[in-house]
Amino acid sequence: MSFWRKCTDVYRELTEVEKYIRGALRTRQAVLAKGLKELLDAGGKRIRPALVLISGQFGEYDRKKLMPLAAGIEILHMATLVHDDIIDDADIRRGVPTIQAKWGKDMAVFTGDFLLTRAFSLITQNVEFENMHKLSDVMKAICEGEIDQYQTCYNLDITVNDYLKRIGRKTALLFSLSCRIGAEESKCAPEVVWNLWKFGKNLGMVFQIIDDLLDFSGDLQTMGKSPMTDFGNGVITLPIIYALKQPDFRDEIREIVDRREFTPAVLDHVRERVHQSGGLDYSKALADRYIRRAINNLKALPKIPARDSLKVLVKKLQERQY
């Protein structure tokens, strides 16, 4: 949560959300309790619950109502991460061993399912019925995005448009839902709800594009996982899609992927070739395009301190590119 330290009001509220999350995840099952504690202690940016709370400030802010919603949204996100790690056979998340790496895949499945049930319990008790339908639709889309990513592993023929659709479902929709639920449950004006929804969607696109860019340019400290992990697992993201379009790099990269012998030396070589191809610059430019869209959404919102908090968030995400 150090991500929010400069936004003291948001940081203070998120501290309470963190307490709420830990309380909601108490269990008498000893192994599950230990795994959940390690998962929570690993931290995180808590962007999604922050979006719920900040969006609520544009209307009739009801802390008692929004706190469990913010906690539920974050627990839901945590569940998707645990299940992602199972699918990816990931060893590291946020710089620490994953549940599946330390406790096994069976325990990771149980943990992910437990998180899902707690998330839906918190949300269903505190959200309007209409928003429950929206949450269900978003969860369906997230699952479809994950399945699409799984089915297109090592597929070097996916397009930029295919990629954008995938990350829109896989990541951006939960950002936009976080904004929308916070706004609608606080009785914001329809135009405010709409602009917050669009802001969340654009912000989510920025977040995922930069995350995928960092797979080629980041390090363990920045990302909380080893660089080139996604590429090594066959996840074809924007930098590699761009590199594959360049005649000077296409055949070499295709040959490397076809061999699927991703030694550290090979991964370093691919990283360098993607950089030389302009793939990172292209990804940064596209992220900047979504940042501009998000800023335009902010300009349409009332000039209150909550808008400044969202501006800080945009700036911090933009800084992750470098």
**pLDDT value, residue 295:** 96
Give the residue, 270 or 7, on which the prediction is more confident: 270
pLDDT tier at 96, thresholds 50, 70, 90: confident
Handedness of CA 194, 210, 276, 281 (dihedral sign): positive
| pLDDT at 220 exceeding the cut of 90 | no
Q: Tell me how far CA of residue 278 lies from CA of 44, 59, 205, 268, 287, in angstroms.
A: 30, 44, 20, 16, 14
- Which among 86-90, 92-96, 108-112 has the top mean pLDDT? 108-112
pLDDT tier at 42, thresholds 50, 70, 90: confident
For 235-244, what is the mean pLDDT? 94
Counting the structural domains of the chain, the total is 1
- Count Cβ neighbours within 10 Å for each residue of 293-304 and write b for 16 or more, e otherwise: bbbebbeebeee
pLDDT tier at 140, thresholds 50, 70, 90: confident
| pLDDT at 45 exceeding the cut of 80 | yes
**pLDDT value, residue 226:** 74
Give the residue, 130 or 200, on which the prediction is more confident: 200
- Contact between 121 and 132 (Cβ < 8 Å): no
| pLDDT at 279 exceeding the cut of 90 | yes
**pLDDT value, residue 296:** 96
**pLDDT value, residue 193:** 96
Both ends of the chain: CA-CA distance in Å? Answer: 20
Share of the chain above pLDDT 70, in %: 96
Share of the chain above pLDDT 90, in %: 52
**Domain limits for position 291:** 2-319
pLDDT tier at 298, thresholds 50, 70, 90: very high
**pLDDT value, residue 224:** 63
Q: How many CB atoms lie within 10 A of CB 322?
A: 8
pLDDT tier at 232, thresholds 50, 70, 90: confident
Q: What is the mean pLDDT of the chain?
A: 88
pLDDT tier at 322, thresholds 50, 70, 90: very low
The three-state (H, E, C) secondary structure of 99-165, written as one string: HHHHHCHHHHHHHHHHHHHHHHHHHHCCCCHHHHHHHHHHHHHHHHHHHHHHHCCCCCCCCHHHHHH
- Count Cβ neighbours within 10 Å for each residue of 40-54 and write b for 16 or more, e otherwise: eebebbbbbbbbbbb
Give the whole-angstrom CA distance, residue 14 versus residue 7: 11
For 104-122, what is the mean pLDDT? 89
Query: Quick one: DSSP state of residue 93?
Result: E
CATH number at residue 106: 1.10.600.10
Give the residue, 319 or 180, on which the prediction is more confident: 180
**pLDDT value, residue 2:** 67
For 289-307, what is the mean pLDDT? 95
**pLDDT value, residue 89:** 78
